[in-house]
Structure 1
Amino acid sequence: MKRRQFIRMAGLGAAGAATVASPAIAQSMPEIRWRLTSSFPKSLDTIYGATDLFAKAVAEATDNKFQIQVFAAGEIVPALQALDAASNGTVEMAQTAGYYYVGKDPTFAIGTSMPFGLNSRMQTAWLHSGGGAELFNDFLKNYNLIAFAAGNTGCQMGGWFRKEIKEVADLNGLKMRIGGIAGNVLAKIGVVPQQVGAGDIYASLEKGTVDAAEFVGPYDDEKLGFQKVAKYYYYPGFWDGGPTIHHMVNIAKWEQLPPAYKSLIKTASSMANEAMQARYDAFNPPAIKRLVAGGTQLRAFSPAILDASLKAANDLYAEIAAKNPNFKKLYDHMVAFRADQYAWWQVAEFSYDNYMIRSRPRG
């Protein structure tokens, strides 16, 4: 969405962008300064850049009356403390991924992505129109937060491996940089999950501290240089079929906002959600071509590995649901939604994409 369109749609005046910018409207808006801490570095123009776009749009639509200053990971709090900072009021907002916080409660993962969950279109549909956002926000009340979808990477890659992985047995004892519920799933089939910060992945692969590492996809991974220290690049990242990045807002601060500013937060977050997905869809294809041209070996996970991982995931979810009613409530709802979605996708979306993939010119 272009900024002019955004301003017209923000609900701040029926006369459109010119009226929004007029002195009478601007003077009626209170001056508010917020801080937003991100879980991501500035170098990721895809993820971090989407929230930077969000903050600029909010400021522009209010003639700079409502300003949200964005801070990269580590500038206020470390990357994986962004949610806590918003929850306890250190900052008003955070840009982060719920599944970073499964140590608090595995339910956090469902709002973002989980192994064999939803693809990006389905995740957006579930959150936006399928009741998912309402369920997730009801859960987040326990942490003094309200969340708005603000980005999606699309399906991610399965990661970089120092050796080929052909069978399930090849994963036994393999040390892989992967965390959260995905790490728990892979642990069931022999992987040894490792918690390694983004800035340390390259060195860990280079030194052999880890045998494999997953991050995001071609565009971001190329920037971090993983192709220089690991030869094999696997797909798909079945644990990240369509992960949603959220803007998480402190509820007390949210309730203090004027209705027009609340509308802006929602609308600008939606714009960021669209922009992030669009950037990944535009930037990943040329990046994967550059990687392959440079010697990267693309490999698909074997059906046996996918089948074993799916069974491990379903077993893990059953174990968690038996003990965690919050998880069970959101998981059951998401699974029912997923079933209907794939019944529809196999009719039109998949059939069309599959045909176009098979018929495209080869080169």
Structure 2
Amino acid sequence: MTFNRRSALAAGAAGLAAAPGIARAQALRWRLVTSWPRNLPGPAFSAQRIADRIKLLSGGRIEVQVFAAGEVVPAFSVHEAVGNATVELGHTASFFAIGREPGLAFFTAIPFGLTPNEHNAWVLKGGGQALWDEAAARFGVKPFLGGNTGVSMGGWFRRELQSAEDVKGLTIRMVGLGAELFQRLGATAIAVPPGDIYPALERGAVDGAEFTSPGSDIQLGLWRVAPFYYAPGFNKPNGSSELVVNKALWDGLPDDLKAVVQAASEAEQAVALAEIEILNMEALATMVSTHGVRLRGFPTPMVQLARRHAADLLGELGTRSPMAGKIAAHYTAFQGRIGPWTRVSTHAALGAREV
């Protein structure tokens, strides 16, 4: 018989169902690798809480050790490491794996796309989860929503942007479809792991950088080298993280432990979104009042141009693979259906509040 880690994971999980008494005495020990620096507010907090919740809800039958980016695998290799059974779990962002399947971009963020609440509705109740499962299964992972950093900011820049022309020729740290969008605006976008963003700005390898929102960004200290902080984050209006579980392991788990993992992950959606609003509120105030951050809005003509490019980009994305086309059609239809409600509810309420 050929022994490999994938078969061992499945066998271990199956053993839980066959011998629950033994399983309780001999807890499963899983490793969870992440794409984040240790203790990064937002996603790293979410990863640790999910791990803690799995242990608590399983009554100690599963113990999860969390590793920061680079401690076991590089930041952008989490998806692959979980799929090939190097580790059991990963906490990352789905759009880091769009090189494997372009359609995975939809499960983190789409430029001018769904907001956090809309995204949760699509994945959890609107049919998105089934498409996500289908797209991820061929890579050996089972995905779940695993936290959210909310609506992102547009990024940090060394100098002020007065027009769309000022973006041309810049090198910007950006990932996902936002990277492609800024390239169509004339910039060069490069993928830099979160923990390496500050050094890249400091040494001039990039002229600007987008990560997430103030509550996470403040930890990176980017204002020291790029003081202009831009909104809106049209490139990333949603900030979903994902928990990925090795699929062979998942398939072998008894139903009660499947429910534990799912509940631990889905609970993080509410907690993370609540926490990030507090962190963003406090961080933005500190940035402006204490650190001299210069808050700016992107020039309106630039945003309008970006919206046109984004529509073209979304259309092209659907042609890059059959799976991407299937997801794109479903996502676009859902956004079309929920858009009218968002306009007469959230958008209208915020507008009324500012009158």
TM-score by length of 1: 0.88
In structure 2, distance between residues paired with 1:97 and 1:200: 17
SS of the equivalent of 1:75 reads coil
Q: Tell me how far 1:195 sits from its aligned partner.
A: 2.6
In structure 2, distance between residues paired with 1:224 and 1:264: 33
What amino acid is aligned across from residue 73 of structure 1 in structure 2?
A
Question: Any conservation in 2 of the 1:55–1:70 contact (CA below 8 Å)?
Answer: yes
In structure 2, distance between residues paired with 1:158 and 1:203: 19
What amino acid is aligned across from residue 131 of structure 2 in structure 1?
L
State yes or no: 1:309 paired with 2:301: no
Which has the larger displacement, 45-54 or 127-136? 45-54
- Which residue pairs with 2:328 in the alignment? 331
CA RMSD of aligned residues (A): 1.7
State yes or no: 1:73 paired with 2:62: no
State yes or no: 1:108 paired with 2:104: yes
Q: Which runs of 5+ in 1 are unaligned?
A: 1-24
What amino acid is aligned across from residue 216 of structure 1 in structure 2?
T
Q: Tell me how far 1:225 sits from its aligned partner.
A: 1.1
What amino acid is aligned across from residue 314 of structure 1 in structure 2?
A
Question: Any conservation in 2 of the 1:26–1:65 contact (CA below 8 Å)?
Answer: no
- Which residue pairs with 2:145 in the alignment? 149
In structure 1, distance between residues paired with 2:240 and 2:175: 17
Question: Any conservation in 1 of the 2:152–2:232 contact (CA below 8 Å)?
Answer: yes
Q: Which residue, 309, 316, 319 being the options, matches 2:316?
A: 319
In structure 2, distance between residues paired with 1:38 and 1:224: 17
Q: Which residue, 236, 244, 249 being the options, matches 1:240?
A: 236
In structure 1, distance between residues paired with 2:206 and 2:224: 15
SS of the equivalent of 2:146 reads strand
What amino acid is aligned across from residue 251 of structure 1 in structure 2?
K
Question: Any conservation in 2 of the 1:103–1:180 contact (CA below 8 Å)?
Answer: no
In structure 2, distance between residues paired with 1:355 and 1:194: 40
- Which residue pairs with 1:169 in the alignment? 165
1:229-271 per-residue CA deviation (whole Å, 9 max, x = no partner) reads 1121001111211121111111110011111000000111011
Q: Tell me how far 1:154 sits from its aligned partner.
A: 0.5
In structure 2, distance between residues paired with 1:193 and 1:62: 43
- Which residue pairs with 1:86 in the alignment? 82
1:174-223 per-residue CA deviation (whole Å, 9 max, x = no partner) reads 11111332111111120111232323322322333221111112122222
In structure 2, distance between residues paired with 1:171 and 1:159: 12
Taking a change above 3 Å as real, the CA distance of residues 258 and 313 of structure 1, as seen in their structure-2 partners, is: same
Question: Any conservation in 2 of the 1:26–1:63 contact (CA below 8 Å)?
Answer: no
What amino acid is aligned across from residue 343 of structure 1 in structure 2?
P
> Percent sequence identity over matched residues?
33
1:72-106 per-residue CA deviation (whole Å, 9 max, x = no partner) reads 11121111111001100111111111101112221
- Which residue pairs with 2:337 in the alignment? 340
- Which residue pairs with 2:54 in the alignment? 58
State yes or no: 1:32 paired with 2:28: yes
Which has the larger displacement, 204-213 or 277-286? 204-213
In structure 2, distance between residues paired with 1:33 and 1:208: 42
Q: Which residue, 168, 171, 181 being the options, matches 1:185?
A: 181
1:288-332 per-residue CA deviation (whole Å, 9 max, x = no partner) reads 111111321111112211111111122122223234221111111
In structure 2, distance between residues paired with 1:260 and 1:312: 46
Q: Which residue, 231, 235, 242 being the options, matches 2:227?
A: 231
In structure 1, distance between residues paired with 2:174 and 2:298: 16
TM-score by length of 2: 0.90
Q: Which residue, 123, 126, 132 being the options, matches 2:122?
A: 126
1:33-85 per-residue CA deviation (whole Å, 9 max, x = no partner) reads 22211111222132112221122122122331221222211121111111001
In structure 1, distance between residues paired with 2:211 and 2:283: 15
**Residue correspondences, number:** 334
